[in-house]
Structure 1
Amino acid sequence: MKPELTIQLMDTHAGGDVSRIVTGGIDPLPGDTVRAQMEYLRDDADGLRRLLLEEPYGIPEMSVDLLVPATDPRAAAGYIIMEVMGYPIYSGSNTICTATAVLEAGIVPKREGKQSFMLESPAGLVQIEATVRDGVVEAITCEGLPSYIHSYRESIDVPGLGTITYSVAYSGGFYALVDARQLGFELTLDEERRLAQTAHAIVEAIQAERGFSHYTLGDVGPLPFLHFMGPVEEVAEGFYRSRSATYVHPGVICRSTTGTGTSARLALMNYEGSISPGDRLETVSLRETGFIGEFSDVQQEGDYQVVKNHITGRGYVIARSDIVVNCDDPMVECDALHHVLSSRRTE
């Protein structure tokens, strides 16, 4: 490869979670769907994810969203989500950021007021509604994945913590849902490190004891996420609010409450009979940012009540840049990039 390569980026955040949108510099990927292209990156070309989430270019708390041409003609663009734990098929915060980026990059021209378009994620087509005022993208509403409660109020003994009661939801990944109060948390910023340590211990204990299977997808791997739930208060008719914190990786509590975490909460509230179609829940993070989830419908799928929902948040552009990848740099592993940068190789 040439000693220097460039990758075009637009850095964004939604609720504090930074999503690094790759807008150019990557070769076309094999695969007749975005899901197949994601699987190619995951199985054969993981170098791009590692490059942009590890030193010297990134940190584990970030996410990367690679823009690709949509394979479905109904979608304006496709995107592949990359995080420190791998390749999730869907993410609310990443979708909000990607939708903001395609508008700001002109891939979808902005129109004043509300406008709708589709993106193609590895999970399939996602309907987007954007609100634009005076040329500014003020809100993005996207579909959350159909969510359901897999297990309700199970107990597990966790070393150093004792017996923990938890429920498990699927909302794009399996989530352990834990009442923060049972562990003495108020869900404030000063608790962040202890929340991460506590969540790690609980997730490790659950992974060691049991696995989970999706009713149509089958085995999707070990439970990766934990969502701490604060008390739910009704602040207006049909509008609820709850402090929340989502753990995604050892040492990492998301800066936002996450879209999939919010979807998981809606599934639990439906399961407990405390929410009705049309009701909304605002989840509030340690940094006082929030997403709003709307419970739109529920249907029975076998043994499960599956909740359809929408997530609303705002994405912000924080940087536009070219990453200069210097293959002479001993901290950069260019050999792991040749699958996606093959056109840059010297003759």
Structure 2
Amino acid sequence: MPVTESRRVRDHRTRSIELVDMQSGGDVSRIVTRGVGHLPGRSVLEQMRYIKQYGDGLRRWLLNEPYGDPYMSVDLIVPPDHPQAQAGYIIMEAMGYPLYSGSNTICTATAILENGVVPMEEGEQTLVLESPAGLAWVTAHNRDGRVQSITTRSEPAFVFEQDMKVDVPGWGEVTFDLVWSGAYFALVEAEDLNLVLAPGEIERMWQFGLAFVEAARSVVTDQHPELGEVGPLPFIHFMGPLEPVDGGYRSRSATYVHPGVICRSPTGTGTSARMALMHEKNQLRVGDTLETVSPKGSSFVGRLLAETRVSHYRAVSTDITGRAWTIARSEVFLDLDDPLVDVSDLENVLISDPDS
């Protein structure tokens, strides 16, 4: 029997939210479109810091069993502060709150257009979103009411430090480069670790990632030169060999998300980080592309747009192109007496009246 409005349980101990589940490159993003109340703070960054401190139960509820999976992400649509932005969004993952993410932006932009949060236009459409890291400039290609592809350009990426070294238990001394592209990434050469970035090696990548992050966090900065404190090292990007193609390169890649997740997609921010490093090493020029291919075989195409600066660092502007697919539209209910959910701070952010 179908569930009807009259059968829904609606009382003072029940909360509900509406979700659109999307996937891009194999990574699932749960877009929260309704059910979360006003968050204090003007900018999306301030709203993110509020929910991180006072409403983190939302992230834990939607990403942990039995309601979710740590391999997923959550994207909360919020009002933007910047006058050019049409919507804002806060990204939540197992590791916490990344300031920007390529796959999450692709999924969120698609959900916003295909679900009428911003009216869709046939053909090419420009959409500006405000992430905690700043503006994401999106170009959507739409046909017959569906988004065929998303190209997103975020804030610049830059190399913070090259040839850093850390002793990793069980792996020895590991050399890595530290790059900012919406979060700090430690970039490592897969061949140096005898990894081929295939599905059968996901467990070894996970094992290395866990040991590496625990060893490296003490030597990696948690400060961005303009944004201030951005949290401990969250990501490792494994770089496969470069294969020349027309206009640039193609390469297998993989991204570890602490604690214990290997992304299904090649990750947009990981691709941007590698392009910034390749430009610093004179391997990539303005206009060149880098297609990254995940262990699952999905791919994103990055393009180096321009040289710029972040504080006193040389930086690059890049964009990433991919596509998102709708998995489900749903209303998720939470009984605040459910013993498997920590609701201690959920009441700070969830709307008590489902119809408000």
Whether TM-score is above 0.5 comes out as yes
**Structure 1 residues 46 and 212, CA gap change in structure 2 (3 angstroms):** closer
Does residue 340 (structure 1) correspond to residue 336 (structure 2)? The answer is: no
TM-score, scaled relative to structure 2: 0.92
The count of corresponding residues between Structure 1 and Structure 2 is 344
The CA deviation at 1:111 is 2.0
Match of 1:267 in 2: 276
**Structure 1 residues 181 and 276, CA gap change in structure 2 (3 angstroms):** same
**Matches of 1:341 and 1:227, distance apart in 2:** 35
Match of 1:137 in 2: 147
129-138 or 311-320, which moves further after superposition?
A: 129-138
Does residue 177 (structure 1) correspond to residue 175 (structure 2)? The answer is: no
1:229-274 CA-to-partner distances (Å, cap 9, x unmatched) read 00011111x2211100000112210111111100100011101101
5+ residue gaps, structure 2, are: 1-10
Match of 2:328 in 1: 319
Q: Match for 1:293 among 273, 283, 302?
A: 302
8 Å contact kept, 1:76–1:107: no
8 Å contact kept, 1:149–1:304: yes
Q: Which amino acid counterpart does residue 98 of structure 2 have in structure 1?
A: P
Secondary structure at the aligned position of 1:98 is classed as helix
5+ residue gaps, structure 1, are: none
Secondary structure at the aligned position of 1:145 is classed as coil
Q: Match for 2:169 among 150, 159, 167?
A: 159
93-102 or 220-229, which moves further after superposition?
A: 220-229
The CA deviation at 1:300 is 4.3
**Matches of 1:12 and 1:62, distance apart in 2:** 10
**Structure 1 residues 23 and 304, CA gap change in structure 2 (3 angstroms):** same
Secondary structure at the aligned position of 1:194 is classed as helix
**Matches of 1:250 and 1:32, distance apart in 2:** 31
**Matches of 1:168 and 1:73, distance apart in 2:** 33
The CA deviation at 1:102 is 0.4
Q: Match for 2:62 among 52, 55, 59?
A: 52
8 Å contact kept, 2:19–2:331: yes
**Matches of 2:41 and 2:220, distance apart in 1:** 33
Match of 1:242 in 2: 251
99-108 or 74-83, which moves further after superposition?
A: 74-83
8 Å contact kept, 1:16–1:289: yes
Q: Say what the alpha-carbon RMSD is for the aligned residues.
A: 1.7
**Matches of 2:310 and 2:42, distance apart in 1:** 29
In the TM superposition, 1:1-347 aligns within 5 A as 2-211=12-221, 213-236=223-246, 238-301=247-310, 303-341=312-350, 343-344=352-353
The CA deviation at 1:340 is 1.2
Q: Which amino acid counterpart does residue 251 of structure 1 have in structure 2?
A: G
**Matches of 1:333 and 1:131, distance apart in 2:** 41
**Structure 1 residues 61 and 300, CA gap change in structure 2 (3 angstroms):** same
- Runs of 4+ with >6 A deviation: none
8 Å contact kept, 1:180–1:186: yes
**Matches of 1:108 and 1:160, distance apart in 2:** 50
8 Å contact kept, 2:63–2:70: yes
**Matches of 2:124 and 2:239, distance apart in 1:** 32
**Matches of 1:42 and 1:123, distance apart in 2:** 15
8 Å contact kept, 1:2–1:327: no
Tell me the percent identity.
52
**Matches of 1:45 and 1:265, distance apart in 2:** 33
1:139-171 CA-to-partner distances (Å, cap 9, x unmatched) read 101113311111112222222111212111111
Q: Which amino acid counterpart does residue 211 of structure 2 have in structure 1?
A: A
The CA deviation at 1:59 is 1.1
**Structure 1 residues 202 and 341, CA gap change in structure 2 (3 angstroms):** closer
**Matches of 1:135 and 1:188, distance apart in 2:** 36
